[in-house]
Amino acid sequence: MLDSFLVPTAIVALAEIGDKTQLLALILAARFRKPWPIIAGIVAATLANHAAAGAVGAWVSGFFSDAVLHWILAASFAATALWTLVPDKLDDEEANTARKFGPFLTTLIAFFLAEIGDKTQIATVMLAAQYPELWLVIIGTTVGMLIANVPVVLAGNFAAEKLPLALIRRLAASAFFILAIVAVYKAMQSSGWV
């Protein structure tokens, strides 16, 4: 049961470093210089986005046998591992939403939109399909987002410029590959091959 929280936390924390939402957190911190409303916006946006993603993952998992689901998860984790190796760039449009609203609403809207289709949202879908405790997965992925983004919001440019992003992307990709290997093993077990 603890795996439903710890694995999603670690995976998302690693995958989020250098991600476009982390760049967005940096821009919002520099623009508003009010960390607590930005952090509150990140929490609210991530909980809403990842709850929806987790619900999809839990729902989809009911349509497949264990073996088929694990093969799908293995392929998805492997694809996400490769995707993680590609550095993200922040779209100017996502960064420009900040002018109309205050720091909380701007962060809420911008983070929610930036997470749609992002690798951490896709990871949340896959993790919710793999682990039975949906709310622990959602809380874990949200905590992972906070682990990666709160230091950036609090420290601003200093933290983002000092991190070895290429190494962190490789570590995150390795974590996704490990999950893919575990899913392949579980698929082989469910198929009766092991």
pLDDT tens digits for 142-168? 999 999 999 989 986 555 556 566 777
Q: pLDDT (tens digit, 9 = 90+) per residue, 65-83?
A: 889 988 988 898 888 888 8
Residues 6+ apart with CB under 8 A from 140: 4, 5, 6, 7, 8, 9, 12, 127
Q: pLDDT (tens digit, 9 = 90+) per residue, 32-76?
A: 888 999 999 999 999 999 999 999 999 998 898 889 988 988 898
Q: Quote the CA–CA distance of 21 and 113 in Å, as a whole number.
A: 10
Alpha helices, DSSP H only, in 85-133? Answer: 92-96, 103-115, 119-130
The pLDDT-based confidence of 89 (bands split at 50, 70, 90) is low
CA neighbor of 85 nearest in space, from 192, 177, 13, 3? 177
CA neighbor of 184 nearest in space, from 74, 104, 103, 82? 74
Q: What is the dihedral of CA 138, 39, 87, 110, to 10 degrees?
A: 90
Q: Quote the CA–CA distance of 173 and 98 in Å, as a whole number.
A: 31
Torsions phi, psi of 138, nearest 5?
-65, -45
pLDDT > 70: percent of the chain: 88
